[in-house]
Amino acid sequence: MSPIQPGLEAEDTREPRAEQPIVVGIDGSPGAVAALRWAAVEARTHGRRLTAVYAYDPVVYGAPMPPMAGIQDLVVAGGEARLDEALLEVFGDQRPPEVTRVVREGNPARVLVEIATDASLLVVGARGHGHFLLGSVSDRCVHHANCPVVVVHY
């Protein structure tokens, strides 16, 4: 191995390990379903686990959502329902056992980047307007994830 010149970063040439999952962001949109479908094929092809993540930010009109009895449970239940709908659309009744569901509170981009810290790949849908633009979550994931990111356009 040659020495690294000061100021230059070493390229990570490690092969992804089988235990590193593929993480996919789900938000109930057609782009998220397309991302899940793409990630499912990739996971099956490379023998990886798949982690489907629905993240929600409890912010209403720029301010944190006030704690109200039952509201948090409704938000979580809604996220779980969106996640289950996407999984049902992609896998039908035959969801593989290596697919994990995660519903977590927090900024969606931050949650996805955090969960994908040890992932082999992060997959998100494009929600931006136009053919080549990214949505805010996919843009942040591309710029902040520690693993490769695939943005699926639908």
CATH code for the domain in which residue 37 is found: 3.40.50.620
Does residue 99 form part of some domain? yes
Spatial contact of 22 and 120, defined as CB atoms under 8 Å apart: yes
Does residue 3 form part of some domain? no
Does residue 2 form part of some domain? no
pLDDT in tens, the chain (154 residues): 444 445 545 454 555 565 799 999 999 889 999 999 999 999 999 999 999 999 988 765 555 656 665 667 777 788 899 999 999 999 999 999 899 999 998 999 999 999 999 999 999 998 754 555 668 888 899 999 999 999 998 8
Spatial contact of 17 and 47, defined as CB atoms under 8 Å apart: no
CB atoms within 10 A of CB 38: 18
Does residue 81 form part of some domain? yes
Amino acid at 126: A
Does residue 46 form part of some domain? yes
Q: How far apart are CA 101 and CA 36, in angstroms?
A: 12
Q: Which domain holds residue 152?
A: 31-58+70-107+116-130+146-154
pTM (2 d.p.): 0.80
Does residue 152 form part of some domain? yes
Does residue 89 form part of some domain? yes
Say which residues have a Cβ less than 8 Å from residue 79's Cβ, sequence separation at least 6.
Answer: 54, 55, 56, 103
Does residue 76 form part of some domain? yes
Q: How far apart are CA 21 and CA 122, in angstroms?
A: 9
Domain count, the chain: 1
